[in-house]
Amino acid sequence: MLRERSNLLKTLLALNLRMDFSKELLWEVNRFELGYEYECKTDELFEKGNWLMIKGLSLSRRGKFLVQMDLLVLTGDQILLYEEKAYTHPVSDCLDGTIEFTEGGTRYTHPLEQLREAREYLEIIMERLNISLEIDSYVLLTHPNGNIYNLPKWTKNVLIQSQITLHVDEQMRKRKPPTSLTAKYHAQLSALHHDMSEYNSIVPKYDYHELRKIVKCPQCFGVINEIPRGKKLINCPCCHEQIVVVDIIKLAFEDYKMLFKKTPTAAEMFHWCGGVFSKIRLHKTLYG
Ligand SMILES: [Zn+2]
Protein backbone atom coordinates (compact mmCIF):
# COMPACT_ATOMS: atom_id res chain seq x y z
CA MET A 1 0.00 0.00 0.00
CA LEU A 2 1.28 3.43 -0.92
CA ARG A 3 2.52 5.48 2.00
CA GLU A 4 0.37 8.49 2.84
CA ARG A 5 1.63 12.03 3.18
CA SER A 6 1.53 13.28 6.76
CA ASN A 7 -1.37 15.56 7.68
CA LEU A 8 1.15 18.37 8.09
CA LEU A 9 2.34 17.98 4.51
CA LYS A 10 -1.23 17.63 3.22
CA THR A 11 -2.23 20.81 5.05
CA LEU A 12 0.73 22.76 3.71
CA LEU A 13 0.16 21.51 0.15
CA ALA A 14 -3.52 22.48 0.42
CA LEU A 15 -2.60 26.00 1.54
CA ASN A 16 0.24 26.57 -0.91
CA LEU A 17 -0.84 28.77 -3.86
CA ARG A 18 -4.17 29.40 -2.11
CA MET A 19 -2.14 31.84 -0.03
CA ASP A 20 1.35 33.31 -0.33
CA PHE A 21 4.05 31.38 1.53
CA SER A 22 7.29 32.94 2.72
CA LYS A 23 10.44 31.73 0.97
CA GLU A 24 11.43 29.77 4.08
CA LEU A 25 8.08 28.00 4.33
CA LEU A 26 8.10 27.16 0.64
CA TRP A 27 11.56 25.66 1.15
CA GLU A 28 10.20 23.52 4.02
CA VAL A 29 7.23 22.34 1.94
CA ASN A 30 9.47 21.37 -0.95
CA ARG A 31 11.81 19.57 1.43
CA PHE A 32 8.91 17.61 3.00
CA GLU A 33 7.49 16.72 -0.40
CA LEU A 34 10.89 15.57 -1.66
CA GLY A 35 11.30 13.50 1.51
CA TYR A 36 7.91 11.91 0.88
CA GLU A 37 8.77 11.08 -2.74
CA TYR A 38 12.00 9.38 -1.71
CA GLU A 39 10.27 7.52 1.12
CA CYS A 40 7.92 6.06 -1.48
CA LYS A 41 10.89 5.01 -3.62
CA THR A 42 12.59 3.37 -0.65
CA ASP A 43 9.34 1.59 0.27
CA GLU A 44 9.39 0.05 -3.21
CA LEU A 45 12.85 -1.42 -2.56
CA PHE A 46 11.66 -2.93 0.70
CA GLU A 47 8.33 -4.20 -0.68
CA LYS A 48 10.01 -7.24 -2.25
CA GLY A 49 10.97 -8.73 1.13
CA ASN A 50 8.88 -11.31 2.96
CA TRP A 51 8.19 -9.20 6.06
CA LEU A 52 5.71 -6.70 7.44
CA MET A 53 6.20 -2.94 7.18
CA ILE A 54 4.95 0.10 9.05
CA LYS A 55 5.44 3.26 7.01
CA GLY A 56 5.72 6.42 9.06
CA LEU A 57 4.84 5.54 12.66
CA SER A 58 4.22 8.71 14.62
CA LEU A 59 3.93 8.46 18.39
CA SER A 60 2.60 10.87 20.95
CA ARG A 61 2.16 10.92 24.70
CA ARG A 62 -0.44 12.98 26.56
CA GLY A 63 -1.21 15.03 23.47
CA LYS A 64 2.41 15.81 22.73
CA PHE A 65 4.33 14.65 19.70
CA LEU A 66 7.09 12.24 20.70
CA VAL A 67 8.79 10.75 17.72
CA GLN A 68 8.40 9.77 14.08
CA MET A 69 9.74 6.47 12.77
CA ASP A 70 10.07 6.66 9.01
CA LEU A 71 10.07 2.93 8.37
CA LEU A 72 9.75 -0.17 10.54
CA VAL A 73 10.30 -3.61 9.07
CA LEU A 74 9.08 -6.53 11.16
CA THR A 75 10.66 -9.91 10.46
CA GLY A 76 10.45 -13.21 12.33
CA ASP A 77 13.55 -12.45 14.40
CA GLN A 78 14.21 -8.68 14.25
CA ILE A 79 12.64 -5.28 13.96
CA LEU A 80 14.52 -3.03 11.55
CA LEU A 81 14.15 0.68 12.26
CA TYR A 82 15.01 3.26 9.60
CA GLU A 83 15.44 7.02 9.70
CA GLU A 84 15.31 8.39 6.15
CA LYS A 85 16.91 11.58 4.87
CA ALA A 86 16.59 12.83 1.29
CA TYR A 87 19.57 15.20 1.40
CA THR A 88 20.08 16.46 -2.13
CA HIS A 89 23.78 17.10 -1.51
CA PRO A 90 26.38 15.97 1.02
CA VAL A 91 26.20 17.37 4.56
CA SER A 92 28.94 17.51 7.19
CA ASP A 93 29.04 15.83 10.58
CA CYS A 94 29.91 18.55 13.12
CA LEU A 95 30.88 15.82 15.65
CA ASP A 96 28.64 17.32 18.34
CA GLY A 97 25.40 15.55 17.47
CA THR A 98 24.57 17.96 14.67
CA ILE A 99 25.09 18.26 10.92
CA GLU A 100 25.35 21.32 8.69
CA PHE A 101 24.35 21.75 5.05
CA THR A 102 26.93 24.46 4.39
CA GLU A 103 30.05 25.31 6.33
CA GLY A 104 29.17 27.62 9.19
CA GLY A 105 25.47 27.40 8.31
CA THR A 106 22.57 26.38 10.56
CA ARG A 107 23.18 23.15 12.43
CA TYR A 108 20.49 20.47 12.49
CA THR A 109 20.07 17.41 14.70
CA HIS A 110 22.23 14.57 13.42
CA PRO A 111 20.13 11.80 11.86
CA LEU A 112 22.02 9.29 14.04
CA GLU A 113 20.80 11.24 17.09
CA GLN A 114 17.24 11.10 15.77
CA LEU A 115 17.68 7.38 15.16
CA ARG A 116 19.01 6.87 18.69
CA GLU A 117 16.02 8.71 20.15
CA ALA A 118 13.54 6.75 18.02
CA ARG A 119 15.21 3.52 19.03
CA GLU A 120 14.99 4.38 22.72
CA TYR A 121 11.25 5.01 22.45
CA LEU A 122 10.80 1.85 20.46
CA GLU A 123 12.58 -0.18 23.14
CA ILE A 124 10.34 1.28 25.85
CA ILE A 125 7.19 0.57 23.84
CA MET A 126 8.24 -2.94 22.96
CA GLU A 127 8.94 -3.73 26.57
CA ARG A 128 5.51 -2.42 27.52
CA LEU A 129 3.85 -4.52 24.81
CA ASN A 130 5.92 -7.57 25.67
CA ILE A 131 7.44 -7.71 22.20
CA SER A 132 10.63 -9.71 22.37
CA LEU A 133 12.43 -8.98 19.12
CA GLU A 134 15.89 -7.58 18.63
CA ILE A 135 16.13 -4.11 17.08
CA ASP A 136 18.56 -3.16 14.36
CA SER A 137 18.57 0.47 13.22
CA TYR A 138 19.89 2.45 10.27
CA VAL A 139 19.96 5.90 8.73
CA LEU A 140 19.17 5.76 5.01
CA LEU A 141 20.35 8.61 2.77
CA THR A 142 17.75 8.09 0.09
CA HIS A 143 18.69 10.75 -2.46
CA PRO A 144 21.42 9.68 -4.94
CA ASN A 145 23.51 12.77 -4.03
CA GLY A 146 23.08 12.36 -0.28
CA ASN A 147 26.09 11.69 1.94
CA ILE A 148 27.48 12.65 5.36
CA TYR A 149 31.11 13.76 5.32
CA ASN A 150 33.33 13.57 8.35
CA LEU A 151 31.48 10.62 9.91
CA PRO A 152 33.53 8.75 12.54
CA LYS A 153 35.15 5.69 10.92
CA TRP A 154 33.37 3.19 13.12
CA THR A 155 29.92 4.33 11.96
CA LYS A 156 28.27 1.28 10.45
CA ASN A 157 24.62 2.13 10.24
CA VAL A 158 24.51 5.00 7.77
CA LEU A 159 23.74 3.80 4.26
CA ILE A 160 23.98 5.92 1.14
CA GLN A 161 21.43 5.39 -1.61
CA SER A 162 23.54 2.99 -3.69
CA GLN A 163 23.93 0.67 -0.68
CA ILE A 164 20.24 0.36 0.14
CA THR A 165 19.39 -2.33 -2.45
CA LEU A 166 22.30 -4.48 -1.24
CA HIS A 167 21.20 -3.97 2.34
CA VAL A 168 17.65 -5.07 1.50
CA ASP A 169 18.98 -8.19 -0.30
CA GLU A 170 21.18 -9.00 2.68
CA GLN A 171 18.28 -8.68 5.11
CA MET A 172 16.14 -10.87 2.84
CA ARG A 173 18.76 -13.61 3.12
CA LYS A 174 19.41 -13.25 6.85
CA ARG A 175 16.07 -12.54 8.44
CA LYS A 176 13.49 -15.15 9.39
CA PRO A 177 10.06 -14.92 7.74
CA PRO A 178 7.24 -13.38 9.77
CA THR A 179 5.04 -15.60 11.93
CA SER A 180 1.56 -15.10 13.38
CA LEU A 181 3.31 -13.49 16.34
CA THR A 182 4.98 -10.97 14.01
CA ALA A 183 1.54 -10.10 12.63
CA LYS A 184 0.32 -9.54 16.18
CA TYR A 185 3.26 -7.21 16.91
CA HIS A 186 2.58 -5.39 13.66
CA ALA A 187 -1.03 -4.77 14.70
CA GLN A 188 -0.01 -3.68 18.22
CA LEU A 189 2.56 -1.18 16.97
CA SER A 190 0.37 0.15 14.12
CA ALA A 191 -2.41 0.84 16.64
CA LEU A 192 -0.13 3.31 18.43
CA HIS A 193 0.07 5.61 15.41
CA HIS A 194 -1.20 9.08 16.15
CA ASP A 195 -0.51 11.77 13.60
CA MET A 196 0.16 14.90 15.63
CA SER A 197 1.82 16.70 12.77
CA GLU A 198 -1.20 18.92 12.09
CA TYR A 199 -0.41 20.71 15.34
CA ASN A 200 2.97 21.71 14.05
CA SER A 201 3.60 25.41 14.47
CA ILE A 202 4.93 26.02 10.95
CA VAL A 203 1.37 26.02 9.50
CA PRO A 204 0.49 29.70 8.90
CA LYS A 205 -2.85 31.11 10.12
CA TYR A 206 -5.50 30.92 7.41
CA ASP A 207 -9.01 32.09 6.85
CA TYR A 208 -11.47 30.69 4.31
CA HIS A 209 -12.34 34.10 2.86
CA GLU A 210 -8.72 35.04 2.26
CA LEU A 211 -7.72 31.84 0.49
CA ARG A 212 -7.68 31.85 -3.33
CA LYS A 213 -10.52 29.79 -4.78
CA ILE A 214 -8.67 27.58 -7.24
CA VAL A 215 -8.25 23.92 -8.20
CA LYS A 216 -4.95 22.08 -8.46
CA CYS A 217 -3.32 19.23 -10.30
CA PRO A 218 -3.15 16.07 -8.15
CA GLN A 219 0.23 15.22 -9.74
CA CYS A 220 2.21 18.45 -9.40
CA PHE A 221 -0.16 20.64 -7.30
CA GLY A 222 0.03 23.39 -9.94
CA VAL A 223 -3.02 25.61 -10.53
CA ILE A 224 -5.46 24.58 -13.27
CA ASN A 225 -7.49 27.57 -14.40
CA GLU A 226 -9.77 26.04 -16.94
CA ILE A 227 -11.40 22.68 -17.48
CA PRO A 228 -13.56 22.25 -20.57
CA ARG A 229 -17.12 21.20 -19.83
CA GLY A 230 -17.76 17.46 -19.95
CA LYS A 231 -14.10 16.46 -20.45
CA LYS A 232 -12.98 13.41 -18.46
CA LEU A 233 -9.23 13.78 -19.11
CA ILE A 234 -7.10 16.89 -19.50
CA ASN A 235 -3.42 17.67 -19.83
CA CYS A 236 -2.12 19.62 -16.85
CA PRO A 237 -0.82 23.05 -18.00
CA CYS A 238 1.99 22.79 -15.39
CA CYS A 239 3.38 19.24 -15.52
CA HIS A 240 1.77 18.24 -18.86
CA GLU A 241 0.69 14.88 -17.40
CA GLN A 242 -2.67 13.50 -18.42
CA ILE A 243 -4.99 14.00 -15.47
CA VAL A 244 -8.37 12.44 -14.69
CA VAL A 245 -10.70 15.37 -14.03
CA VAL A 246 -12.49 13.53 -11.21
CA ASP A 247 -9.15 13.40 -9.35
CA ILE A 248 -8.91 17.20 -9.51
CA ILE A 249 -12.34 17.48 -7.90
CA LYS A 250 -11.41 14.89 -5.28
CA LEU A 251 -8.21 16.75 -4.39
CA ALA A 252 -10.12 20.01 -3.91
CA PHE A 253 -12.62 18.12 -1.73
CA GLU A 254 -9.86 16.52 0.38
CA ASP A 255 -8.08 19.88 0.72
CA TYR A 256 -11.26 21.47 2.03
CA LYS A 257 -11.79 18.68 4.54
CA MET A 258 -8.17 18.83 5.67
CA LEU A 259 -8.21 22.61 6.17
CA PHE A 260 -11.65 23.07 7.71
CA LYS A 261 -12.25 19.68 9.37
CA LYS A 262 -15.68 19.30 7.82
CA THR A 263 -17.26 17.89 4.68
CA PRO A 264 -18.28 20.66 2.27
CA THR A 265 -21.71 20.79 0.65
CA ALA A 266 -22.01 20.97 -3.15
CA ALA A 267 -22.61 24.73 -2.93
CA GLU A 268 -19.51 25.17 -0.77
CA MET A 269 -17.47 23.08 -3.20
CA PHE A 270 -18.69 25.21 -6.11
CA HIS A 271 -17.39 28.32 -4.37
CA TRP A 272 -14.18 26.62 -3.15
CA CYS A 273 -13.29 25.57 -6.74
CA GLY A 274 -13.72 29.14 -8.00
CA GLY A 275 -16.55 28.16 -10.35
CA VAL A 276 -14.27 25.93 -12.46
CA PHE A 277 -16.79 23.08 -12.17
CA SER A 278 -20.55 23.29 -12.52
CA LYS A 279 -22.65 22.48 -9.45
CA ILE A 280 -24.16 19.54 -11.34
CA ARG A 281 -20.77 18.04 -12.06
CA LEU A 282 -19.62 18.45 -8.45
CA HIS A 283 -22.84 16.91 -7.23
CA LYS A 284 -22.53 13.92 -9.54
CA THR A 285 -18.88 13.32 -8.67
CA LEU A 286 -18.96 13.78 -4.92
CA TYR A 287 -22.50 13.16 -3.76
CA GLY A 288 -24.11 11.17 -6.57
ZN1 LIG B 1 0.33 18.85 -13.04
Write out pLDDT tens, residues 135-178. Answer: 999 999 999 999 999 999 889 899 999 999 999 999 999 999 99
Ligand 1 centroid to Cα of residue 282, in Å, is: 20
Q: Is 144 in the same domain as 27?
A: yes
Ligand 1 centroid to Cα of residue 43, in Å, is: 24
Ligand 1 centroid to Cα of residue 80, in Å, is: 36
Q: Are 248 and 190 in contact (CB under 8 A)?
A: no
Tens digit of each residue's pLDDT, the chain (288 residues): 789 998 889 999 999 999 999 999 999 999 999 999 999 999 999 999 999 999 999 888 777 777 889 999 999 999 999 999 999 999 999 999 999 999 889 999 999 999 999 999 999 999 999 999 999 999 999 999 999 999 998 898 999 999 999 999 999 999 999 999 999 999 999 999 887 665 667 899 999 999 999 999 999 999 999 998 889 999 999 999 999 999 999 999 999 999 999 999 999 999 999 999 999 999 999 987
Count of structural domains within the chain: 2
Question: What local confidence, expressed as pLDDT, does residue 142 receive?
Answer: 97
Residue 90 lies in a domain: yes
Residue 16 lies in a domain: yes
Q: How many CB atoms lie within 10 A of CB 52?
A: 19
The boundaries of the domain holding residue 258 are 213-287
Ligand 1 centroid to Cα of residue 145, in Å, is: 26
Ligand 1 centroid to Cα of residue 246, in Å, is: 14
Q: Is 224 in the same domain as 160?
A: no
Q: Are 131 and 188 in contact (CB under 8 A)?
A: yes
Q: Is 73 in the same domain as 176?
A: yes
The CATH number for 193's domain is 3.40.1350.10
Q: Is 180 in the same domain as 222?
A: no
Strands 98-100 and 107-109: antiparallel
Residue 189 lies in a domain: yes
Residue 19 lies in a domain: yes
Angle at 215 between CA 211 and CA 216, to 5 degrees: 110
- What is the residue-wise DSSP string for 20-40? PPPHHHHHHHHHHHHHHHHHH
Ligand 1 centroid to Cα of residue 283, in Å, is: 24
Q: Where are the alpha helices (DSSP H) in 85-230?
A: 111-128, 161-174, 180-190
